[in-house]
């Protein structure tokens, strides 16, 4: 009886050995700004990108070919202030595409984490790759 139940359960699970994963849209980004938080930003973007249909690549020099230029700033906390940050996203012709701002975080890296997650969501909506 257990074998029949196991076979019945397994037959309900989709088997995808021959299926290809959904293709991701490759997007090249040039990130500049606060160098202390850029590594955090790029790591979170690389993590979140595939969930939103994006394969995010990062270039090191403005002379390299890129799809979007990301200007990132984040500042830490003070005695009475929380950390905040913002992003301005431009196309290669330097026209603003969108901006993202996050505040009320405990640290600059916390603000950067929130910025990166929101950036990926907005970029995916903009490029129509979101799920």
For the segment 47-89, what is each residue's pLDDT rounded down to a tens digit? 999 999 999 999 999 899 999 999 988 766 655 557 777 889 9
pLDDT tops 60 at residue 2: no
pLDDT digits (tens, 9 = 90+) for 21-47: 568 999 999 999 988 888 989 999 999
Q: What is the DSSP string of 3-46?
A: HHHHHHHHHHS---SSPPPPPPEEEEEEEEE-TTTHHHHHHHHH
pLDDT of residue 19: 40
CB neighbour list of residue 8: distance below 8 Å, 6 or more residues apart: none
The model's pTM = 0.74
pLDDT at 106: 63
| Domains recognised in the chain with CATH numbers | 24-127 (3.40.50.11830)
């Amino acid at each position: 009886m257990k074998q029949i139940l196991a076979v019945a359960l397994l037959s309900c699970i989709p088997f995808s050995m021959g299926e290809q994963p959904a293709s991701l849209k490759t997007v090249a980004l040039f990130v500049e700004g606060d160098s202390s938080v850029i590594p955090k930003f790029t790591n979170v973007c690389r993590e979140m990108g595939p969930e939103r249909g994006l394969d995010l690549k990062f270039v090191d020099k403005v002379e390299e070919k890129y799809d979007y230029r990301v200007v990132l700033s984040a500042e830490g906390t003070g005695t009475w202030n929380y950390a905040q940050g913002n992003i301005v996203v431009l196309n290669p012709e330097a026209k603003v595409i969108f901006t993202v701002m996050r505040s009320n975080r405990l640290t600059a890296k916390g603000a950067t984490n929130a910025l990166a997650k929101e950036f990926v969501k907005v970029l995916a909506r903009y490029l129509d790759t979101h799920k």
